[in-house]
Amino acid sequence: MENNEMSMKTPEKSNGIAPGGKIMEFQLLRWSLKIFIIFAIISTIPLFAGSSLRNFTPFPKAEAGIIDLTKVPLEQGTVSLDGQWEFYWDLLLEPGEPVSSTSSRYIEVPGSWNKYTSNKATDFGDGYGTYRLRFVTGENTRLALKIPRMRTAYKLWVNGELIASSGTVGKTRDTMVPQYMTNVSSFEVLQGENEILIQVSNFHHRSGGIMESLRIGGENQIFKLKNKNMAVELIIFGSLICIGVYHLVLFFFRRKKDPSTMYFGLFCVFIAVRTTLGGESFFIYFFPAFNWEIAHKILTSTYYLGVPLMLMFFMEIFPEYFHERIIKISQITALVFTSILIFTPARIFSVVNILYQVWSIAVILYIAVALIKIIVNKEKDSWIISLGAVALLMGSMNDIVFFLPWVSDNELAFFKDLLKSNNLASLGQFIFACINSLLIAKRFSDALEQEEIVTSRLTEMNAHLDDLVFQRTKDLAESNRKIEHQNLELEKKNQALQKLSFKDSLTEVWNRRKYDQMIEKEWNRCLRYQRPIALLVLDIDYFKRFNDFYGHMAGDECLVKIGQVLKNSLSRSTDMAARYGGEEFVVLLPETGKEEALEIAAMLRQKIEDLNIPHEKSMVSDYVTVSIGVTSAVPDLNSLYQDLFGVADKALYQAKDAGRNRIKFLSE
C-alpha cells in the first residue's frame, strides 16, 4: 500500500524516455491500430460476400420438381437444392404413397408457401403440405444433406428412408409440436433418379414452409460445412459475450461518465443470445426440449430491443448528429412491440413483426445518413466507427430483408440469389464490437499523453479512499440483494419443475407418482364423508403384437391418442387419468358408485375403439381395443386404498380371460 501511495504521489518521476520519444511512440501506436483495423475489415469482406458469390456459380437448379446432379462433383463439394419442387397442399404424403397428378403444383424453394396455397386463411401460413424433389446422380454413392430450420415442424425421407425430423408434424395446432433445429444426415443414393420427400406443418408462425436452402454433397464436405458454421457461431457467441460483459463492467465502474459502454455491452449480449437461437441454433442442440414459443420470443426480443440500443449508442458517441425525438420514438416503438411479443403467441406477433422490420430498415438508413455526415465533417475517430458501422448495418439489413414477407412470399429471384444467409447480423456485430474495442484502445493511448492529468486524478482518488471503500461496500450490498433475488427465482423454477415431474412425458397425462399421491388423498376424503370411490384399470389388447408389427413409433403414437381420449373424456375436476406403466392406464373416480363407474368404463372403451387405430395382429378386432377392470367401494377403517387397485387389477385379468375388449366389475 505504501509503494502504491508513493507511485501515485510522485508524477514527476521520469520513466527514462524523453518527451519526443513518447510522441513518436504514440504516433507509431496510432498507425499500427489503423493498419490493423483496415486489415481486419478487408479480411472479413469475404465472410459477407462469400455466401452470395458462391451462389452465382453455374450450379443446376431444380425445374418442374427434378434436378440433374450428374455433372456435379458431389463428393468433393456441396450444392443447394434450390428451384421448383413439387408441392402437395393439405396432404402429408408417405414414401411410395400414390397421389393424383392434379393435386400437385410447383413451389420455389427456399421461400414460404403463403402465396401458393388455395386456402385464403393460409396467407398467414397455417397448414401442412408435402414437398417432393427428384434428383439424378451418375453413380451409387453415399451423400449427406444439410437440412436448415423449417417452419415449424418437418419429417424428411430420402428414397423411402426417414433420415431427419424436427418437432412433430400434425394436421392441427393441437397435434403438431413446433421446433427449430438444423440437421445433417447421411444416406445412400442410387445411380439415376432418387427422391426427397418432406412433410412440413405450421400452425405457430406467420410464414410456413422451407425458408432456407437445403445443401447436398459428400459426407465429409457436409459435415465440415456444419462444423465450420457451428464453430464460427460459437466463436462469435463467446467473443460477443466477453466483449459485452467487459463493456458492462466498464460502465459499472464509470457509469456516470460514459453510458455508451452500457448500451454497447447490452447490444453485444443481445446479439450473442440471438446467435445461439439463429443460424445453426446450437442452443437447441444442448436443450432440444426447450419450448419453441419461448425460444422464438427470446430471439425476437433481442431484435426489438437491439434497435433502440444501437441508436442510443450512436447518440452518445455523436450527439449532435442524432435527434433525441428519433431516439424516443425508437424506444417507445421497441417497448410497444416487446409488449405485444410478451402477451401474444408467435402466430400473432410474427404477423405484426412486419411493421417492425420496415421500421428497422428506416432506422438503418437514418444511421447511414448520419454516418455519412460524420465522415464528411471529419469528426474525431469517425473513420474507425464508420468502418465497424458499415459491417453492422450490412449484416442487420441482410437479416431483416431476408425475412421480409415481401421477399419470402414472392418469387424475387434477385433477392433470393443475393440473400442466402440469415445470420449475418451476428457477424456484423462481431466486427463492429472488435473495432469499437480497438477504438477504446486508441483512446487509452491518447490518455497516455496526458500522464500528468491521470496521475493527479489518481492522487485525488487516493485522498478519497474512504469514499471508494464505501462505494464498494454499497456495490457488495447490491450484489447480495441480486443473489437473494436469484435464489427466489430459482425456488419458483424448482416448484415449476416439480409440477412437470407429475406428467407422463409421452402421453401428457398424469403419471404413476401423481396417481399414488391423489388416490391416497381421495381415499381419505371419501373415508371421512363415507362416499364411494371407483377405480378403472385399462390395458391395451395385444399391444406387444401391435408394437412388433407397426414399430415403436406407431406404438408411442397409439399411447398418446388413448391418453388424450382418457384426459378429454373426464368432465369432473376430481376425476383423473394416469399412465400406470407401459400400455396400462388407470382412471380414478371419487364419489362414484358401481353403475356410474360401469357407464364411464363403457364410454371410454367405445371411444378408444372409435379411434379406428388399425391393429391387424389383434385377435378380437381390426382396430385397437382395451380391456377394463372396474371396482367401486366405500372406504372403511379396515380397508386400504392399495386394496382398491388390487381388486380392479383382478377384474382386468377376468376381462382378459373372458376374451378381451370387454369390461369386468369386481367388488371388494
pLDDT tens track for 287-301: 888 888 898 899 889
Q: Please give the DSSP secondary-structure letter assigned to residue 322.
A: S
Residues 520-549 have pLDDT tens digits of 999 999 999 999 999 999 999 999 999 999
pLDDT surpassing 90 at residue 560? yes
List beta partners, residue 177: 168
Query: Which residues are paired to 540 by β-bridges?
Result: 626
487 compared with 72, residue with greater pLDDT: 72
Phi-psi sector, 83: left (phi>0), alpha (psi -120 to 50), beta: left
CA–CA gap between residue 156 and residue 560 (Å, rounded):
22
DSSP state of 344: S
- Alpha-carbon distance of 526 to 467, in angstroms, equals 68
Q: Please report the sign of the dihedral spanned by the C-alpha atoms of residue 93, residue 348, residue 412, residue 425.
A: negative
Render pLDDT for 603-661 as a digit per residue (tens, 0 to 9).
Answer: 999 999 999 999 999 999 999 999 999 999 999 888 888 889 999 999 999 999 999 99
**Contact (CB, 8 A) for 429 and 268:** yes
142 bridge partner residues: 188
Cell triple for 169: 408434424
> Quick check: bond before 345 cis, omega within 30?
no
The pLDDT tens digits for 386-432 are: 777 787 778 777 777 666 665 555 554 444 554 455 567 777 777 88
53-57: long-range contacts at Cβ-Cβ below 8 A with a sequence spacing of 24 or more?
55/80, 55/417, 55/418, 55/420, 56/417
C-alpha 105/C-alpha 259 separation (Å) is 56
What pLDDT, on a 0 to 100 scale, did the predictor assign at position 11? 37
Residue that is written with C-alpha cell 386400504 in the block: 640
Distance from C-alpha of 361 to C-alpha of 371, rounded to nearest angstrom: 15
pLDDT band for position 53 (cuts 50, 70, 90): very low
Give the pLDDT confidence score for residue 594 in this predicted structure. Answer: 92
The average confidence (pLDDT) of the chain is 82
Give the Cα separation of 605 and 272 in Å (integer): 53
Q: In angstroms, how far is CA 87 from the centroid of its own chain?
A: 26
- Whether residue 44 is predicted with pLDDT greater than 70 in this model: the reply is no
In which region does residue 252 sit, left (phi positive, over 0), alpha (psi from -120 to 50) or beta (all else)? alpha
